């Protein structure tokens, strides 16, 4: 069977290369015939004993809680399908992305401990285990998050992005599922940014946006993609900040700021639409948080914060100027600046790939209208 990492739709083997709804690359499920069986107690790469399987963090592959036997520590082990890396260029990309993640140092970035290949040649990543699960899973289970948790996520993810951008690394896949929740020793919230498998070191000139990265899917999620990326293939720190704006809105409102269920609808909304006011879904949303998210979602990149550091300072100032209002009994439904770099024109090909001639024509008509 095949699944779409964006909409989670399931399709029969050989159905297509990309999802007909959102254009994402389809991937084999881990229980396909001939795929390795990963049961509790299985030891991979001679040192990782599987304990149990965790929620999927996005992309292909499977995520496990495992014990690293040679160091007697618990890790999060992500195992990709055996056929993820089939060409020399894929292996080179995998090694570069591992090195990119490993170089980052921040209390708010999930640490990468180890990487390699299992006995069946499946790529794996051994990550720091954060027990709280992702904010995306919490959102799906419990609905919109309390505002203090949204604000904590904003501040701490910005600290992670600041560290990444100062190292000239773009994340390119900030979503609720890329933020994992933990607690410090004093019980306060600690959010950590993971998912640097799509990260890009600025200055590399051989980027292929349609390639499979070490997380197992093509670069970027259209639901969190900045307008300048969609139209021009621009990638810079402000595109990460835009994705964070979509993420924070979703965590607070329980839905994304732009309507659309198909790829063409989503792209048109990002390029031409305006986000629904957050207060429409959360009337008690603090003014400072609303204004902060609105600026992150500015259609013109020049009107956004220009760096994670600037956004972090603005967030702290806005929350101090407009503190959270008293709790109200309102029911909530579930539901350092870097120079911009223009990516390869193939990025736009990724965005519209899989639509077909009719879909592509309709999409271009919407975007140019």
> What is the model's pLDDT at position 335?
38
Average pLDDT, the chain: 79
Query: Smallest Cα–Cα separation from 159: which of 194, 109, 103?
Result: 109
Say whether pLDDT at 60 is over 50: yes
pLDDT at 174: 94
**Of residues 265 and 142, which shows the higher confidence score?**
142
Give the residue, 315 or 32, on which the prediction is more confident: 315
190 vs 362, more confident: 190
Would you place residue 57 in the very low, low, confident or very high pLDDT band (cuts 50, 70, 90)?
A: low
Confidence at residue 136, expressed as pLDDT on a 0 to 100 scale: 93
pLDDT tens, residue by residue, 121-147: 888 999 999 888 899 999 999 999 999
Lowest mean pLDDT among 102-111, 311-320, 331-340: 331-340
Q: Does residue 317 sit in helix, strand or coil?
A: helix
Find all residues with CB under 8 Å of 306, minimum gap 6, and list them. Answer: 237, 238, 337
The pLDDT value recorded for residue 81 is 80
Q: Which pLDDT score is estimated for 320?
A: 76
β-pair partners for 109: 193
Give the tens place of pLDDT for each residue, 7-27. 666 677 667 767 776 666 676
Token pair in block for residue 81: 């399908």
Q: What is the spatial distance between Cα 270 and Cα 364, in angstroms, rounded to a whole number? A: 14
Looking at residue 105, its pLDDT comes to 86
Over range 259-276, report the average pLDDT.
86
Encoding tokens for residue 171? Answer: 């994340």
| Alpha-carbon torsion angle 121, 122, 127, 133, nearest 10 | -160
Q: With both helix axes pointing from N to C terminus, report the angle between 237-253 and 287-296 in degrees, rounded to the nearest 10.
A: 140
The angle at the Cα of 112, spanning 107 to 116, to the nearest 5 degrees, equals: 180
- Band (332; pLDDT cuts 50, 70, 90): very low
CATH 3.90.1150.10 applies to domain 135-368: no
Active site residue 236: no
User: What is the predicted pLDDT for the residue at 210?
Assistant: 34
Active-site residue identified among 32, 107, 173, 186:
173
Work out the burial of residue 208: count CB atoms within 10 Å of its CB; fewer than 13 is exposed, 13-18 middle, 19 or more buried: middle
């Amino acid at each position: 069977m095949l699944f779409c990492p964006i909409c989670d739709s399931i399709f029969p083997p050989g159905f297509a290369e990309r999802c007909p709804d959102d254009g994402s690359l389809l991937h084999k499920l881990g229980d396909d015939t001939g795929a390795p069986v990963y049961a509790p107690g299985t030891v991979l790469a001679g040192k990782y004993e599987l304990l149990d399987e965790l929620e999927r963090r996005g992309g292909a592959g499977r995520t496990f809680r495992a014990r690293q036997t040679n160091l007697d520590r618990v890790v999060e082990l992500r195992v990709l399908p055996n056929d993820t890396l089939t060409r020399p260029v894929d292996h080179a990309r995998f090694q570069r992305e591992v090195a990119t993640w490993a170089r980052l140092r921040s209390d708010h970035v999930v640490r990468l401990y180890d990487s390699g290949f299992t006995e069946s040649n499946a790529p794996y990543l051994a990550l720091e285990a954060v027990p709280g699960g992702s904010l995306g899973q919490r959102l799906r289970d419990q609905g919109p998050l309390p505002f203090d948790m949204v604000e904590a996520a904003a501040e701490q993810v910005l600290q992670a992005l600041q560290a990444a951008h100062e190292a000239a690394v773009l994340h390119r896949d900030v979503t609720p599922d890329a933020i994992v929740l933990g607690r410090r020793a004093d019980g306060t919230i600690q959010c950590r940014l993971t998912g640097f498998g799509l990260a890009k070191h600025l200055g590399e000139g051989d980027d292929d946006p349609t390639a499979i990265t070490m997380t197992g899917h093509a670069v970027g999620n259209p639901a969190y993609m900045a307008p300048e990326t969609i139209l021009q293939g621009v990638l810079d720190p402000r595109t990460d900040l835009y994705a964070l704006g979509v993420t924070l809105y979703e965590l607070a409102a329980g839905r994304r700021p732009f309507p659309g269920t198909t790829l063409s609808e989503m792209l048109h909304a990002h390029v031409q639409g305006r986000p629904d006011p957050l207060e429409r879904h959360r009337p008690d949303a603090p003014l400072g948080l609303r204004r902060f998210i609105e600026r992150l979602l500015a259609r013109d990149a020049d009107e956004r914060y220009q760096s994670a550091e600037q956004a972090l300072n603005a967030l702290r100032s806005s929350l101090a100027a407009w503190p959270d209002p008293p709790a109200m009994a309102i029911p909530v439904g579930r539901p350092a600046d870097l120079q911009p770099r223009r990516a390869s024109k193939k990025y736009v090909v990724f965005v519209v790939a899989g639509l077909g001639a009719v879909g592509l024509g309709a999409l271009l008509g919407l975007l140019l209208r």
